[in-house]
Chain A
Amino acid sequence: MAVMTYREALNLALREEMQRDPRVFVIGEEVGLYDGAYKVTQGLLKDFGPQRVVDTPIAESGFTGVGIGAAMVGLRPVIEMMTFNFALLALDQIVNSAAKMYYMSGGQFNVPIVIRGPGGPAAQLAAQHSQSMETYFYHVPGLKVVRPTTPMDAKGLLKSSIRDDNPVIFIESETLYAVKGEVPEDPEFTIPLGKAIVRREGTDVTVIAYMGMMYRAMEAAEELEKEGISVELVDPRTLRPMDTETIIGSVRKTHRVVVVEAGAGFAGMGSEIAASVTEQAFDDLDAPVERVTGANAPMPYARNLERLKTPSKDRIAAAIRRVCNANGH
Chain B
Amino acid sequence: MTKTPTRGGAAPSVDATLARQLLTDMLLIRRFEEKAAEAYTLGKIGGFLHLYIGEEAVAVGATSALRPDDYVISAYREHGHCLAKGADPKRTMAELYGRRDGLSGGKGGSMHLFDKSVNFLGGHAIVGAHLPIAAGVGFAIKYQGGDQVVVCYFGDGAVPEGEFHESMNLTALWKLPVIFLCENNRYAMGTSVERALAQTEIWKFGQTYGIPSEHVDGMDVLAVREAVARAVARARKQKTPALLEADTYRYRGHSMRDPAGAVYRTKEEVEREKLRDPIVLFREKMLAADVFSEADVRAIEKDVNDRVDEAVAFADASPEPPGEALFTDIYKES
Contacts and interface: CB of A to CB of B under 8 A. Distances in A.
Interface string B88-125: 00000000000000111111100010111000011110
Nearest to A110: B332
Contacts of B124: 97
Interface string A84-104: 000000001100110001111
Interface stretch (A66-74, A151-159, A248-256, A297-305): A66-74
A109 interface: yes
A57 interface: yes
Contacts of B123: 104-105
B129 A93 contact: yes
A166 interface: yes
Contacts of B334: 163-165
A92 B136 contact: no
Looking at A67, A72, A104, A164, the one whose CB has the most chain B CB atoms below 10 A away is A104
B330 A141 contact: yes
A109 B116 contact: yes
Contact of A63 (B102, B126, B132, B332): B132
A57 B170 contact: yes
B136 A69 contact: yes
A74 B163 CA distance: 23
Contact of A72 (B112, B137, B330, B332): B137
Nearest to A100: B112
Contacts of B122: 101, 104-105, 109
A59 B332 contact: no
Contacts, number: 144
Given A68-B133, A92-B126, A97-B133, A102 B121 contact: no
A144 interface: yes
B166 interface: yes
Contacts of B330: 102-103, 141-142
A73 B132 CA distance: 14
B161 to A, nearest CB: 9
Interface in A161-179: 163-166
Contact of A92 (B129, B143, B332): B129
A4 to B, nearest CB: 27
19 contacts: A61-B132, A61-B162, A65-B133, A65-B135, A65-B166, A65-B167, A66-B132, A66-B170, A69-B134, A74-B144, A92-B126, A93-B129, A103-B107, A107-B328, A107-B329, A107-B332, A108-B103, A108-B115, A166-B331
Q: Which 7 pairs from chain A and chain B are nearest by CB?
A: A69-B136, A65-B132, A62-B166, A106-B104, A105-B114, A69-B133, A66-B136
